[in-house]
Structure 1
Amino acid sequence: MTTLPLAIRPALLLGVPNRITLVRTVIAMAVATYAFRTGELTWLVIGYFSYWFGDSLDGWVARRRNEESLSGAVFDIVCDRACSFLLAAAFMATYSATIGPLAIYLIQFGVLDTMLTFSFLLWPWMLSPNYFYKVDRPIYLWNWSKPAKAMNTAAVVISLVVAGQTGAQWLPYTIAVAALVVKVVSSYRLITIICGRRAAVPEEGH
């Protein structure tokens, strides 16, 4: 009898964490779609909150239930991009001043961050980017530690809201460019590690 790999067993594919990911994605994208129609900031805030809260919840549940899986990680990454892109598009359609910063954000998150995040697949034993510290601690700290995750998504959006209230349009540009620089530096470091030109620095004890 053939045994399915852990990453694709139905019990994990249809498990609670993946159900949460699916539900939070549907909710966030539905709210984003409605925000397109109404043009109200309130709905954008609700959309981002449902996306961020659900994204934290599915990971927490997966760890608590010991249901982390490769398929779940990939599903989560794809859903993150779907939510982020539609919410950003609704933001840009509603507030033209956000187009510049969000264009920079979409380049770094949609291209560079996506490639960085999927790089965990190069190490077959790794279930998600959350364990990248076992490969290289600097790249992990810059991209998947809690402060880095906040910088990568929430900081840009919050700065846009602040700029809209205060007129400080330089703020979201500064944060978006800073995040882009982090992704460029991280990508370069990852490439040099993969090519053997630099030694990785795993967290001590791993």
Structure 2
Amino acid sequence: MTTAVPLAVRPALLLGVPNRITLIRTVIAMVIATYAFRTGDLTWLVLGYFSYWFGDSLDGWVARRRKEESLSGAVFDIVCDRACSFLLAAAFMATYPETIGPLAIYLVQFGVLDTMLSFAFLLWPWVLSPNYFHKVDRPIYLWNWSKPAKAMNTGAVVISLLVGAQTGAHWLPYSVAIAACVVKVVSSYRLVEILCGRRPAVPGEPR
């Protein structure tokens, strides 16, 4: 027989300060992305990505400082990241049609492979979010959620798109997007191997 969670607890988890920040930063980023999509103005596109990245860092920092990290917050954050990324990518493709190819690769790796990897922490009850996946497997954590990996996952792709659009070096975003996709494929394969018992997980410290 399971014990029901008191109703009074659920709003506290869902309506905590970190989740409020996640909601606000998502709305702001998506409104800016919509305006960038309509106007085709690079300035608004850059501002949209900045608001997305800054807010994504802020909600996690506040959650850790206030000791309000939760499974619901981690899931909400992952979902909101996809919403922001997809709309910003659409605005990018509308502004620079030549970026459709590399952005399509990016959306596959981030929208499909990275989403699967990000939700994998739910399979281990003692892991609160992907930021603690080193407790399960340090290599997968280092490849996906360490600071350099997070920068590579979205930041490097977007910067390469901007550079390519401004300089005509269209090979650059393709190279970065493919490299990021390869990392997700390798990480996904390793995760499946671990889940099937064909490879031992290697837990360790994040550094």
Once the two structures are superposed, residues 132-167 of structure 1 have per-residue CA deviations (whole angstroms, 9 ceiling, x without a partner) of 000000000000001000000010000011111211
Superposed, 1:48-197 pairs within 5 Å as 48-197=49-198
Q: How many angstroms apart in 1 are the aligned matches of 2:93 and 2:169?
A: 17
Q: How many angstroms apart in 2 are the aligned matches of 1:155 and 1:204?
A: 25
State whether structure 2 residue 45 is matched by structure 1 residue 33. no
Task: Calculate the TM-score normalised by the size of structure 2.
Answer: 0.95
Supply the RMSD in Å over aligned alpha carbons. Answer: 1.5
Tell me the secondary structure at the aligned position of residue 68 of structure 2.
coil
Q: How many angstroms apart in 1 are the aligned matches of 2:43 and 2:156?
A: 18
Quick one: which amino acid aligns to residue 139 of structure 2?
P
Quick one: which amino acid aligns to residue 202 of structure 1?
P
Once the two structures are superposed, residues 108-140 of structure 1 have per-residue CA deviations (whole angstroms, 9 ceiling, x without a partner) of 000000000000000012110000000000000
1:43 to partner: Cα distance: 0.5
Q: How many angstroms apart in 1 are the aligned matches of 2:127 and 2:175?
A: 33
Any conservation in 1 of the 2:14–2:73 contact (CA below 8 Å)? Answer: yes
1:9 to partner: Cα distance: 2.6
Runs of 4 or more above 6 Å deviation: none
Q: How many angstroms apart in 1 are the aligned matches of 2:5 and 2:149?
A: 35
Q: How many angstroms apart in 2 are the aligned matches of 1:3 and 1:100?
A: 49
Any conservation in 1 of the 2:134–2:205 contact (CA below 8 Å)? Answer: no
C-alpha change, 1:47 and 1:204, in structure 2 (3 Å) is closer
Quick one: which amino acid aligns to residue 102 of structure 1?
L
Give the paired residue count. 203
Task: Calculate the TM-score normalised by the size of structure 1.
Answer: 0.95
Q: How many angstroms apart in 2 are the aligned matches of 1:92 and 1:124?
A: 39
Quick one: which amino acid aligns to residue 120 of structure 1?
F
Instruction: Indicate the residue corresponding to 1:46 in structure 2.
Output: 47
Q: How many angstroms apart in 2 are the aligned matches of 1:34 and 1:163?
A: 23
1:57 to partner: Cα distance: 0.2
Tell me the secondary structure at the aligned position of residue 122 of structure 2.
helix
| Structure 2: tracts of 5 or more residues without a match | none
Quick one: which amino acid aligns to residue 16 of structure 2?
G
Q: How many angstroms apart in 1 are the aligned matches of 2:134 and 2:126?
A: 13
Once the two structures are superposed, residues 88-122 of structure 1 have per-residue CA deviations (whole angstroms, 9 ceiling, x without a partner) of 00100111111000000000000000000000000
